[in-house]
A and B are shown apart, each in its own frame.
Chain A
C-alpha cells in the first residue's frame, strides 16, 4: 500500500491506462500544458504528447461530443470537465448521444467515454461554481455514474471506467483532491456497481457517497462514543445503477436509515434510496427514514450562508439523535 492524494491516484490511473492502450487519450480545459486545474493530468502532456493529452477550447458540448465520436471508432477518451456546473453545457452530447447511441442503434454502436468532473461546494465559489449535479446524471438511462470517496476508489474506478464499454460519469469533489488515502501498489480495478460497508453497525444505517461518506464516518464515531449508538456506514459509490441489494441488506440489519447528501433533497440520491427502501423492505423499518441534505437554494458567496446551506457531520449526528430521542 502506498499513501496518495486523490489527484495523485487519478493521475496514476491515467498514466497506467495510457501506457496500457495507445488509444486511451485525455482531453479537457487546461489539462495538458498547464497540467490540469486539480493536477489530475500533471506531466502527462510531456510524456504522451499533444495528440493524446489534448488541451481543448472552452467548448464543453463540442469537445465532449468530439470525445464521444472518437469513442465510436475505438478510442477511449477520458474527458475532464473542470466543474460540473460547466457539464450542463455538455449535457446534450452526454444525454442525447453517449447515453442513447447503444439503444437507438440496436446495440451496433457504443460510446465508451469517461467523463470526470468536479462537483460540490468548496470555499465561497458562488452559485455557478458550487453545484452538486449527480442527481441529474443518475437519472439518465444508458449512463453509468460513480463517485469516489477516497483515493483508492478514485484510482480504481477510473481504471475500470476506461475499460468498460459503457459511458461512465465520474463525479469527483473539489474539496477532495488533496485528501490522502491508501492505494494498492499493484494495479487495482474498482467495481462500477455495488456499495461498500465502511463501518459495521447494528442500530442505524448511514448512507453516504463521495464527501458525505466522511460525515457519516465522523458521525458514527461521535454516536458510538457519546450516545452508545452503533451506526453502520454504507458508501454508495455507484449512483447509477444504485445497489438495491446492498441497500436492502443493511436496512434488514439495522432497521433505521439516515441518508446524507451534499445536494439539495429534491429528486436526489436520498429520495431515490428512500424509494428503493419503500419498494423493497418497507416493513423492515422501525423508524421513518431521514434525509440530511442541503438547503434548496443556490449556494451563496457569503461564507456563513454557504456553511448554513451545506450539511455536515454534526447534522448527521443530530438527525440520528432525533430518531432515537437522545
Chain B
C-alpha cells in the first residue's frame, strides 16, 4: 500500500464515518425510517478487506449494517442515501431500505436482515463462480453473533467440502445486539470455531486498516488460488448501538473510551502526520470537503428525489412477462 493509497483510504473512511453520522441526524429528523444500523468505528474492516479485493469484480454480500460496504464496492453514495430516504432514485428504488442496499452492477449483492442468512448465499455464488471457471471470489462480511446460527456451520461445511472460493470475514464487535459475546458464545475467539471444518483462519486487529489489508491480502490470495474458503476474524467495535432503537446501556463508559482511543480513522491520520505525509490542516480540509460533499450532493440528491409511485407497489414481486410462465409463450 503506497502513500497515495493510504491518503485515499483515509478519505474514504472519513467519508464513511461522516456519511453514517449524517444518517444518524437524518434518522433523528425522521427523514430516515425503519431500522438503521450504523458502521461508525468499524470502518477499517470493510475498507481494509475490500482494498485487497478486485473492486467491482469480486462479489460482496453482508448483513443489515451494509451502507459502507456498498459504497466501498462502488455504489453511488447519493443512491444509497436516497434509498435510506425511501426514494425511487434509491439503490433499491425505495423498496429495500437501510438493511437492503444492493448494487449488482458493482457486484455488491446485498444486505440481508436475517442474521446468518448470507452464509449459504455466499457459498452459492462461489459455487457459480467455480462452475463458470472465473477467478473472482466471494467475500461475505458478517458479525460475530451470526456464527451462532445453523447457517454458519452448514455453510462452512459445504464451502470446505466443495472447496468453494469464498472468504468469510467476521467483524467481531463483541456484541450480538445487546448481549456481550461471552454471555452468548461458548468459544470467544471466532477464528477457532472454524478449525472443525478444516478451514484456515486468522484473527487480526480490525481497527488498524493496514493490518487488516495485510491479513486480507493473504486471505484473498488463498481463496483466489483455488485452495478453498478462508475465515478472517477482525476485532472491532461499533460506537453506536446495534440499531437506532438500541439504548446502548449495556456497555461501560470505560470500554467505550478504550475503543475510541483506537479509532481507525484517527490511527491512520496520526500515522500519516507522524510520517510527515499529512498536516492537521490537510486533514481539516479533507474533512470539510467530505462534509460539503455529503451535504451538497448526497443529502441534496436524496431530499430532492421523488417517492416511488403507489401504482407500482407490486412491481418487482415476480418477473414481468416471463414467457415460460405461459409455457414458452406458445
B23: min CB distance to chain A, Å: 19
Could you give, for residues 88-110 of chain B, a 1 whenever the CB lies within 8 Å of some chain A CB and a 0 otherwise?
Answer: 00111111110010111100011
Asked whether any CB of chain B lies closer than 8 Å to the CB of A286, the reply is no
Asked whether any CB of chain B lies closer than 8 Å to the CB of A61, the reply is yes
Give the number of residue pairs across the A-B interface with Cβ within 8 Å: 180
CB contact between B325 and one of A52, A70, A108, A192 (< 8 Å): that residue: A192
**Contact A61 B326, beta carbon cutoff 8 Å:** no
**Contact A110 B319, beta carbon cutoff 8 Å:** yes
Asked whether any CB of chain A lies closer than 8 Å to the CB of B129, the reply is yes
Given contacts A75-B128, A103-B317, contact A96 B120 (CB under 8 A): no
Q: Which residues of A contact B95 (CB under 8 A)?
A: 103-106
**Contact B317 A97, beta carbon cutoff 8 Å:** no
Asked whether any CB of chain B lies closer than 8 Å to the CB of A255, the reply is no
A residues 91-129 in Cβ contact with B at 8 Å? 92-93, 96-97, 101-110
B34: min CB distance to chain A, Å: 12
**Contact A104 B127, beta carbon cutoff 8 Å:** no
Q: Which residues of B contact A192 (CB under 8 A)?
A: 324-326
**Contact A62 B158, beta carbon cutoff 8 Å:** yes
**Contact B150 A61, beta carbon cutoff 8 Å:** yes
How many angstroms from the CA of A193 to the CA of B319 in the assembled complex?
13
How many angstroms from the CA of A43 to the CA of B130 in the assembled complex?
24
Asked whether any CB of chain A lies closer than 8 Å to the CB of B268, the reply is no
A residues 27-52 in Cβ contact with B at 8 Å? 51-52
Given contacts A65-B117, A97-B121, A191-B325, contact A106 B90 (CB under 8 A): yes
B residues 141-161 in Cβ contact with A at 8 Å? 150-151, 154-155, 157-158, 161
Q: Which residues of B contact A74 (CB under 8 A)?
A: 128, 132
**Contact A105 B319, beta carbon cutoff 8 Å:** no
Q: Which one of A161-169, A216-224, A297-305 is at the interface?
A: A161-169
**Contact B96 A104, beta carbon cutoff 8 Å:** yes
Q: Which residues of B contact A96 (CB under 8 A)?
A: 112-114, 117
Asked whether any CB of chain B lies closer than 8 Å to the CB of A179, the reply is no
Asked whether any CB of chain A lies closer than 8 Å to the CB of B322, the reply is yes
Asked whether any CB of chain B lies closer than 8 Å to the CB of A197, the reply is no
**Contact A25 B155, beta carbon cutoff 8 Å:** no
Asked whether any CB of chain A lies closer than 8 Å to the CB of B318, the reply is yes
**Contact B330 A101, beta carbon cutoff 8 Å:** no
CB contact between A106 and one of B93, B105, B128, B328 (< 8 Å): that residue: B93
How many angstroms from the CA of A96 to the CA of B120 in the assembled complex?
13
Asked whether any CB of chain B lies closer than 8 Å to the CB of A311, the reply is no
Q: Which residues of B contact A92 (CB under 8 A)?
A: 114, 117, 151
**Contact B122 A57, beta carbon cutoff 8 Å:** no
Asked whether any CB of chain A lies closer than 8 Å to the CB of B309, the reply is no
Given contacts A23-B131, A106-B102, A107-B316, contact A72 B124 (CB under 8 A): yes
20 contacts between A and B (CB under 8 A): A52-B131, A56-B158, A62-B155, A65-B120, A66-B123, A69-B121, A69-B122, A69-B125, A72-B125, A73-B128, A75-B131, A92-B117, A97-B114, A102-B317, A106-B94, A106-B95, A160-B328, A166-B318, A166-B322, A194-B326
Interface residues of A (CB under 8 A from B): 23, 25, 51-52, 56-57, 59, 61-75, 92-93, 96-97, 101-110, 141-142, 144, 156, 160-161, 163-166, 189-194
Taking A66-B123, A73-B59 as known contacts, 9 extra A-B pairs with beta carbons closer than 8 A to each other, sorted by chain A number, are A64-B120, A65-B121, A70-B125, A104-B97, A105-B104, A107-B316, A110-B319, A164-B319, A164-B325
